[in-house]
Amino acid sequence: MNTLILLLATGLGLGGLYFLVASGLSLIYGLMGVLNFAHGSFLTLGAFVGLAAANTVGADTWPGLALGLVVGSLTGAAAAALTELGLIRPLYDRHIEQVLVTVGLSLASVALFEGIWGPNPRNVTRTDWLGSTTDVLGASVPNTAFLNVLAGAAVLGGIVAFLKFTRYGLIIRAGVENRAMVTALGIDVRRAFTVVFAVGGAAAGLGGVLATQSLNYVSPHMGASLLIFAFIVTVIGGMGSLPGAAVASVVVAVLQQLANYYLNNTGDVIVVLLLALVLLVRPSGLMGRPA
Amino acid sequence: MRPRQARPPEDQASPAVLEVRALAARIAGQEVVHDVSFEVPATGVTAMLGRNGVGKTSTLKAVLGLVERTGEVLLDGVRVDAERTDRIVRRGVGYVPEDREVFAGLTVAENLRLAERRERGTADEGAAERRALVDDLFPELVRRAGQRAGTLSGGQQQMVSLARALLNENRILLVDEPTKGLAPKIVGEVAEALATAAQTVPILLVEQNLQVVERLAERVIVIDAGRVVHTGPAGELLGDPDAVQRLLGVSTTSTTEAEVTR
């Protein structure tokens, strides 16, 4: 029972991290039809720059962590917005080329990060609380899990509110349905593209800093490994569906944790099998619109 | 080289708000509009007629830059064919597309709010007036403001689509088959709304229902196989059953005007 609670709690925490990456992927794909392979790079960059900012105050203090989270998000947002403006926009409506350029950027940026920060993972310092556990019904749950769940829920709520209550949100929701008609109403939909990239990049940057707290290290490759699962989550949830991504994040992460423990470290395999099953039975995903 | 259509005599006093010269449009690599030239004068309704699939919708889309196109498009004498769709629209082109194209997942109020163009830095005194006109024309939409547009009937969706265009100050409206698939009573309401709109803004109207054309349009442009084959006063064409049969492939005798005016 204790083990199950622990697995569920860590699964939820991991799900929070997946969602931080998948939410951006899902928004970007929903509006622009672009699978953004560079999304992991926004996460990694956010993590490194966020931690550097945290270190200026002290990464083992709460103000340091708060600063790191803010700077990490802003870094992710800026990197994503620049990517959209510099690489995606010139290839307007050429989806294959847009995807290819994000693949190129992801490969190049990892090499760049290795050049700057070295190829090996570096340990990070955490606040005492984040480095310890809390007893939940007898299970010792790592405190990072609570922070990740909280962050995932906050980002979900924030994006939902943004989509519902702002003009850009309105444009994005309409654009996901019918982009041509949005432009035919006199709206420059390209600005909304930059906005979704920035919002997605911010969530990824935040996820990057949080991931360093859970993993207890920072590495040039952390973005790529999280991105794989975020893609799976996005497909299972239904490409372009934010609630779908939220549900799938939790399902995938919990399943992964359970399988790793009870089925001899087969979590990754089980997740891929789940992906295959969803693609066979319900190709549009849990909450996606039928193609 | 500027191929031009002869203008009907009554338009001499009224300069063209929209001029299209040698317009060609391609969809998926296939040229569907070949060499279309016409003018829309600054007042009243100009109807664009023709059989199904001759390129009327594509012509409207080409004017807006929604499909790949060549040729010249002039709005108030200014070339706009190099501009993006949203820029052309902001110059004052209201578009009511075929099949309404309302945003199904957005509420009626959200559809309208999205459509209201905001000109930066300028106070738009006419906005409240236009809003009042739209509310007056379509009280149904006021009652259903919170309802998702996807759950509306076809007629109600058409009202949303028309309202989106009427909320803005436009130089011209491009209206594509607004009565298609609607019940006769709703056809009358839509025609009524268009007649009201036409008092303040010129309309280029693609329409299959000849009673609606007869009621609203002063001039007609007939398209066949991606080319303009006839322009002239609406009454002249519609009063000539042989010409209607020849140009549009339909007969005028089986219908009555009462259907649209009640």
Q: Is residue A239 part of a domain?
A: yes
pLDDT of residue B252: 58
- The pLDDT of B205-221, averaged and rounded, is 93
CA–CA separation, B195 vs B151, rounded Å?
27
B85 to A171: CB separation less than 8 angstroms, yes or no? no
Predicted complex ipTM? 0.86
Is residue B4 predicted with pLDDT exceeding 70? no
pLDDT of residue A48: 97
B66 to A180: CB separation less than 8 angstroms, yes or no? yes
Tokens encoding B143 = 């009652």
A183 to B84: CB separation less than 8 angstroms, yes or no? yes
Nearest CA in chain B to A168: B114
Digit-coded pLDDT (tens) for B106-118: 999 999 999 998 7
| Residue A161 domain boundaries | 2-281
Q: Is residue A266 part of a domain?
A: yes
Is residue B173 predicted with pLDDT exceeding 50? yes
Nearest CA in chain A to B65: A184
Q: Is residue A290 part of a domain?
A: no
Rg (CA), chain B: 18
Is residue A110 predicted with pLDDT exceeding 90? yes
Is residue B11 predicted with pLDDT exceeding 80? no
Digit-coded pLDDT (tens) for B58-81: 999 999 999 999 999 999 999 999
Picking from A173, A177, A186, the nearest residue to B86 by CB comes out as: A186
Domain architecture of chain B: domains with CATH: 9-261 (3.40.50.300)
Q: In B, which residues are within 8 Å of A170 by CB distance?
A: 106, 110, 113-114
Digit-coded pLDDT (tens) for A187-216: 999 999 999 999 999 999 999 999 999 999
| Chain A contact present for B97, CB below 8 A | yes
Digit-coded pLDDT (tens) for A147-188: 999 999 999 999 999 999 999 999 999 998 999 999 999 999
How many Å from the N-terminal Cα to the C-terminal Cα in chain A? 42
Listed by number, the residues of chain B in 160-219 with a beta carbon closer than 8 Å to a beta carbon of chain A are: 164, 168
The pTM assigned to this predicted structure is: 0.87
Low-confidence winner among B11-20, B31-40, B141-150 (lowest mean pLDDT):
B11-20
Q: Is residue A288 part of a domain?
A: no
Which CATH number does the domain housing residue A29 bear? 1.10.3470
Is residue B209 predicted with pLDDT exceeding 80? yes
Q: Is residue A289 part of a domain?
A: no
Digit-coded pLDDT (tens) for A41-82: 999 999 999 999 999 998 899 999 999 999 999 999 999 999
Q: Is residue A286 part of a domain?
A: no
The mean pLDDT of chain A is: 92
pLDDT band at B227 (very low <50, low <70, confident <90, very high): confident
The mean pLDDT of chain B is: 87
Q: Is residue A176 part of a domain?
A: yes
Q: Is residue A30 part of a domain?
A: yes
- Number of domains chain A contains: 1
Is residue B260 predicted with pLDDT exceeding 60? no
pLDDT of residue B7: 45
DSSP-assigned letters across all residues of chain B = ----PPPPGGGTTS-EEEEEEEEEEEETTEEEEEEEEEEEESSSEEEEE-STTSSHHHHHHHHHTSSEEEEEEEETTEE-TTS-HHHHHHTTEEEE-TT----TTSBHHHHHHHHS---TT---THHHHHHHHHHHH-HHHHHTTTSBGGGS-HHHHHHHHHHHHHTS--SEEEEE-TTTT--HHHHHHHHHHHHHHHTTS-EEEE-S-HHHHHHHEEEEEEEETTEEEEEEEHHHHHT-HHHHHHHHS--STT--THHHH-
